[in-house]
Amino acid sequence: MSHKHKNGSHHGKISKSREWLKSHKDTFQDNSARGTPRLELVLKCDSSGSVEAVTNVISGIVVPDVEVTIIHSGVGYINKSDIMIAETGSRLIVGYEVDVLPGIDELIIESGVEVRLYNVIYTLTADIRNIAHSLITADLEENIIGSARVIELFKSSRRGIIAGCEVLDGYLATGKRFRIISAMGPVYSGTIESMHIEKSTVQKVTPGQQAGIKIKDFNRAKIGDIVESYLPSNLKKSPAWQPKSEIIRKI
């Protein structure tokens, strides 16, 4: 979408909204800002050479917006001390070519720590990568299809708040998702229920056209705000990993 309005300021607001979305990923779901997800694990191996090799492989795992960190590593059986350390992180212990110390199975269950045992490095790293991917809180790869600037606001006894908008880029269409972006970032999201040009109902508006958009249950829109329409991602996200309070052996 290359059309540029003579004002030009809408590009700055949209850029700010991108930054805001990156630091407030779940705003439209629950209005809470979350930090970068972290997977903090304990690593135990059969030898110091294995510790070094597995550490190097895990350190090479790159998952966007997720930090993978080994908070403790060592050689030998997985023991009570390892469980206590894991409780301070993501409650995950990864063992390579080792087993758990006899008699601590009950402690593992009580502590809520998950122990995963491997004898193949490839399987170990693939699982850690999948767990990290599951922790991504939101998908920001939306398809932006149009933007407009609020130029007038009306109150209608029949339709509530009507935002008079001039389309800047792409198009706006009924049935599509949209959000209102203020100077501080997105402040509202919904679906375009109806649009009007003067007294005529329209289904789609393009750059240069002006139309009124009904905004349901929202009265804080301001002149100069940006209306951005988008298609949500079709990617299906798997549930985020949670420790299972058990020992999982991957042979």
- Expressed as residue numbers, the domain containing 130 is 38-136
Task: Tell the residue number behind the tokens 């829109």, with chain if given.
Answer: 221
- What pLDDT does 251 receive? 65
CA angle centred on 168, ends 164 and 170, rounded to 5°: 115
On whether both 26 and 46 belong to a single domain, the answer is no
On whether both 124 and 213 belong to a single domain, the answer is no
On whether both 130 and 47 belong to a single domain, the answer is yes
Domain presence at residue 5: no
On whether both 144 and 96 belong to a single domain, the answer is no
Record the tokens describing residue 129, joined without a space: 């990568």
Domain presence at residue 199: yes
pLDDT tens figures, 33-67:
345 789 999 999 999 999 999 999 998 888 877 89
pLDDT tens figures, 86-142:
999 999 999 999 999 999 999 999 999 999 999 999 999 999 999 998 887 654 456
Domain presence at residue 152: yes
On whether both 132 and 49 belong to a single domain, the answer is yes
Q: pTM of the entire structure?
A: 0.52
Where residue 160 sits, what CATH number does that domain have?
Answer: 2.40.30.10
What letter would DSSP give residue 106?
H
On whether both 81 and 127 belong to a single domain, the answer is yes
Where residue 97 sits, what CATH number does that domain have?
Answer: 3.40.50.10050
Q: Looking at the 3D structure of the chain, how many domains does it have? A: 2
Domain presence at residue 2: no
123: left (phi over 0), alpha (psi -120 to 50) or beta: alpha
Domain presence at residue 236: no
Domain presence at residue 242: no
Domain presence at residue 186: yes
- What pLDDT does 1 receive? 38
Residue 39 has, within 13 A of its CA and on its CB side, a CA count of: 30
**Is the confidence at residue 249, as pLDDT, over 50?**
yes
Task: Tell the residue number behind the tokens 């767990």, with chain if given.
Answer: 131
- Backbone phi, psi, residue 87, to 5°: -65, -25
Nearest Cα to 10, choosing from 131, 191, 170, 182? 182
Domain presence at residue 68: yes
